[in-house]
A and B are shown apart, each in its own frame.
Chain A
C-alpha cells in the first residue's frame, strides 16, 4: 500500500524539475486556449479502479481563480469540498498536506499555461482544426512507475483529462459548461476566504 502512497507523493514532486522549451504544437495549442483570471464549470469524473468492476463516478463543479486557487466541489455521490492553493489544502477531513505542485498542475490546466507542464513531462500533441490533443509522458523514471500517461484534449477550453496509471487504474475527467465570469460569487469568495492564512 505504501508504495502507492509513496508513488502518489512522488507524482507530484516530480512535476517540477528543470524547465525546458515548449513545443511548437504546445505553443499553438496554448494560443488557442482562452486565458482569463477566472474559469468555472462542471466536472464529471470516472475512476476505473482495477479492483472494482464498475467505475467510481463523481460529479460537481470547479472554480479556478488565478490568484486564489481552486474550489473542487463534489456534489455526487457525496457532497464534499476541496480547496487548494499553492500552500494550503482543505478537505472534509481538515487541512491536508499539499501534494507538491498540485496547485501548479491545476493552474497549468485551467489557466492555459501548458508550458508549465513541460517541466515534468515529455509532451507530444496534435493540433487539428476543431480540437487538440496532448499526450504527457513523465520524464522521471520514478514517476513513470506510477503514471503511464496523461491525455489532455479540448478546443478553446480543456475538455477532457485522462490519467492512466502504470498499475492499470484510469481516471477520466470531462469538463463542461465552462464559463469565464468577471467576478466570483459571494459563495466562491467565502470558500476562498477559508484558504487565506
Chain B
C-alpha cells in the first residue's frame, strides 16, 4: 500500500486525465493509412474554434470581432487567432506566376478547347467591368489573364472582405469571422474549462455591446461533455456517499464499519487509478466513471464481512473470516473473470476499465481479507439493528410467499421477459452516446449555413503508387464528385489535383494554349485589338515560347499555396502517395459512400465506422458475457456440483433477463455499454447467490449483508440512471434493474437445504 501511495504521488502529479472522445476509439481496427489520414484530419478539426461576431452593420460586427480578437489573444489558449485575411498568402501565390501557361483551371481548359474566341470575349468583359482591377490587375504581364483566372479558381467560394476581414451576412445581420486554433489538440480539461468560461464571458460582452456572438467547434462539444461528466461524478459521488453513510450508521451505530467500507473501496479506487495511470499514461474520464462504479462491487465484500458479525453470538473477526472467505474468494474470482473479458476488446476505453476495475476489486478484496480482521479486533455489537429485523423477516417470508404463488408469478415473469426481449433493439449509432445540448447544435448549424467552408466529418482518402497514379485516381474521383455536386448530393469538394495538374496535364495545357491561342495567331489579334503595341505582343509570344519546358513540382506548388490546400496532401512514402478530398454540405451520404468503387479511393466515415465497430463489439461483448457466464457456472459447478452451480447461477440469469427485458420495455438505449452493466450485474448476481448458498444457518446475517450491499450499490448506480449523458444513464438503468432482481431472487437460494 505504501508502494502504491508513493507511485501514486508520482503518477498523479502529471497530467493524467483524458477527456477527448476520440481517445476511446480503437486504433488497430482501421487500415494504417486510413487511421493516419483520420488522425491528421481529426487533429486539425479538433483544435478549430469558429467565432462569428454579428451586428446590424458590418462596421459594428468588425469592431466586436476586433475586441474579441484581443481578448482571445490575451487568453493564451490559442496558437492562432485569424481575423484579418492573411495577405502574405497572395504574395506566396505569386511564386506560381512563371507556370501560368501550365496551370490552367478547369473552366479555362474547357472554354479554350471548345471556343478560344469565347475566352477572349470573356476577357474583354472582365476588363471593362467596374471590378476589372480586382480580376485583371496585371494586364501588362498577363495579357490573356491566364493567371488571374487560375488564381480566382483557387477559391471557389467567394468571401466578402472588409478591412481584410471576412464578413458574412444573412437577412438580419452582418457577421465578422474569426478563426482560432487551440494550442494543443489533446484538449486538456482545465484548458477546456478556460475555453468555456471565455466563450461565456465573450458572449456576454458582445451582447452587452448590442451584438451577437456565435461560437462553435469540436473543442466546445468536448468541453460540454467533460463538464457534464464532471458534474455528474460529483452528484453521484455526494449522493451515494450520503446515502451509504446514513444506511451504515443506522445498521451498525458505529463509525468503524463506515470507515472500513470506505477504506476498502477507497484503497481499491486509489490503487486502480494509480496502476492505470502508470500503465496507460493517462486515464479517460469515462473510465473513471465506469471503473469507479464497477469497484462498487467491492462493497459486497465489506458488507458481507461486517454483517456476518450479527450471525453468531461469540463472533470474532478471524472466525468470521474463516466462514465467509470461500464465498468472498469465489465472488472475487468470478468477478475478475467477468471483467478480464473486457480487456480483450480493442477499445482502449474498455481495456482501461477492465484493468481499473480488476485492480480495484483485487485491492479492495485484499483490504477486506487482510486488514479487516486486524482492524475489527474487539468489534462486537450489543444492539439489534432495526434493519436486521426487517431483513430477517423479509428473508423468512418473501421466499415462502414466492413459492406459494410461483405458478402465476412464473407465468407473468415469463411473459414479461419474453415481451421485453422481443422489443429490445440495439442502437449502435455513436452519436447517440454523446448528448450535446440542442443549443450547441443549433449554433453549429447556423455557423455552417453562414460559413459554408467548414468541411464535413466524412472524407475521401485517395491512394496511388506514385504521384501520376495518385493524380489519375483523384481526378477520376473528382469527376464523379462534380457530377454528384450537379445533382446536389453535396455543395462543395476540395481536392488537390484540381489545382495542381500533374506533369502530363501541364504539358497538355501548354499544348492546348499553343494550338488554340498562341500558335494560331489569335492571341496576336486579340492583343493588337486591345491596343497593345507590337513589342508587347512579341514579348508575350517570346515568354510563351520560353516557358515550354517548365514543369511545376507538387512540392513547389504546395509551398506556394494556402494552408488549407497543403493539409490535403498526406505525402508519399514506401511507394504510396495519398491525399484527402474534403467534402462540404453533404446531402446524400449514400450516394457519396457509393463512390468507394473507384480504384485507390477509400470513403472514410468515422461516425459510421465507429458505430459499426460498436455494433460488432456489442456482439463480441455479448460473447464475452456468455463466456464469463459459462466460466462462472463451470467454476461453481466444479466446486459444488452441477445442480448446485445451476441453482446459484439462476440468480444472475434472472437478473440479466429482467434487465434486458426492462431495457426493451422502456425503450432504452441498448449498446455495447449496457453489456458492460450486464457484466456487473452478472458479478453481483453470482455474489448474492453464492453468499446465500453458503449461508447455512447464518441466513439472517447474510440477508442483511446482501440487502445492505444491494442498497449501497443501488445508491451508487441508481444515481447514474439520472445522468443526462445517454451512455451513463443506460448503464445506471441496466444495473439498477439487475440488482433489484438479484436482491429479490437471491433469498430463494439455499432455502431447501435448510428445510431438509
Contact = CB atoms under 8 A, between A and B. Distances in A.
A1 B142 contact: yes
A56 B532 CA distance: 11
Interface string A55-92: 11010000000000000101001101010001101011
B158 A1 contact: no
A80 B90 contact: no
B485 to A, nearest CB: 14
A55 B151 CA distance: 26
Given A11-B133, A93-B126, A197-B171, A100 B162 contact: yes
B125 interface: yes
Majority-rule SS of A interface residues: mixed
B171 A51 contact: no
A170 to B, nearest CB: 13
Interface stretch (B91-99, B506-514, B581-589): B91-99
B294 to A, nearest CB: 54
B90 A6 contact: yes
Given A1-B94, A1-B147, A16-B163, A97 B158 contact: yes
B158 A4 contact: no
B97 A1 contact: yes
A1 B169 contact: no
A78 B121 contact: yes
B127 A72 contact: no
Interface in A149-185: none
Contact of B137 (A5, A54, A87, A97): A5
Contacts of A8: 133-134, 137
Interface string B150-178: 01100000111111100101110010000
Contacts of B59: 16
Interface string A5-30: 11111010110100000000000000
B127 A56 contact: yes
A47 B158 contact: no
A196 B228 CA distance: 43
Nearest to A53: B531
Contacts of A89: 131, 158
A77 B126 CA distance: 11
Nearest to B133: A8
Interface centre among A1, A4, A13, A91 (most CB of B within 10 A): A1
B530 interface: yes
A5 B138 contact: yes
Interface in B95-152: 97, 121-122, 124-135, 137-142, 147-148, 151-152
A92 B90 CA distance: 24
Contact of A96 (B91, B158, B167): B158
Interface in A31-64: 45, 47, 49-56, 58
A97 B129 contact: no
B133 A52 contact: no
A101 to B, nearest CB: 7
A74 B129 contact: yes
A87 B167 CA distance: 9
Given A13-B162, A77-B128, A82-B131, A56 B531 contact: yes
Contacts of B531: 49, 52-56
B161 A197 contact: no
B572 interface: no
B289 interface: no
Given A45-B128, A96-B131, A101 B121 contact: no
Interface residues of B, number: 49
Interface in B587-636: none
Interface residues of A, number: 45
A117 to B, nearest CB: 15
B486 to A, nearest CB: 15
B125 A13 contact: no
A50 B532 CA distance: 10
Contacts of A100: 58, 160-163, 167
Contacts of B127: 47, 56
Contacts of A72: 129-130
B533 interface: yes
Interface in B181-209: none
Contacts of B131: 82, 89, 91, 96, 99, 102
B133 A82 contact: no
A64 to B, nearest CB: 13
Given A51-B140, A54-B531, A9 B163 contact: no
Contact of B134 (A9, A52, A197): A9
Interface string B480-524: 000000000000000000000000000000000000000000000
Nearest to B170: A197
A98 interface: yes
B87 interface: yes
A95 B132 CA distance: 14
Contacts of B140: 50-51
Contacts of B121: 78
Given A49-B139, A197-B171, A92 B125 contact: yes
Contact of B125 (A50, A54, A78, A97): A78
B16 to A, nearest CB: 48
A23 to B, nearest CB: 22
B137 A13 contact: no
B128 A74 contact: yes
Nearest to A6: B90
A100 B163 CA distance: 7
Interface in A82-124: 82, 86-87, 89, 91-93, 95-102
A77 B124 CA distance: 8
Contacts of B90: 2, 5-6
Contacts of A78: 121, 124-125, 128
Given A1-B97, A4-B133, A56-B127, A51 B532 contact: yes
B146 to A, nearest CB: 11
Contacts of A87: 160, 167, 169, 174
Nearest to A119: B59
Given A52-B532, A101-B162, A93 B122 contact: yes
Contact of A4 (B58, B138, B152, B536): B138
B122 A92 contact: yes
Contacts of A80: 125, 128-129
A96 B160 CA distance: 8
Contacts of B536: 51
Nearest to A196: B171
Nearest to A105: B130
Contacts of B124: 77-78
Contacts of A52: 139, 530-532
B139 A51 contact: yes
A80 B130 CA distance: 11
Interface in B71-95: 87, 90-91, 93-94
Contact of A47 (B128, B160, B169): B128
Contacts of B147: 1
A51 B142 CA distance: 11
Closest 10 CB pairs of A and B: A1-B138, A4-B137, A52-B531, A100-B162, A58-B128, A8-B133, A54-B531, A97-B158, A87-B169, A5-B137
27 contacts: A1-B137, A1-B141, A2-B90, A2-B93, A4-B138, A9-B134, A13-B163, A47-B127, A47-B128, A47-B132, A51-B140, A52-B530, A52-B531, A53-B531, A53-B533, A56-B128, A74-B128, A77-B128, A78-B121, A89-B131, A93-B135, A96-B158, A97-B161, A99-B131, A99-B161, A100-B58, A197-B170
Given A96-B135, A98-B160, A101-B162, 4 more contacts: A2-B93, A2-B94, A95-B158, A97-B159
Interface of B: 58-59, 87, 90-91, 93-94, 97, 121-122, 124-135, 137-142, 147-148, 151-152, 158-164, 167, 169-171, 174, 530-533, 536
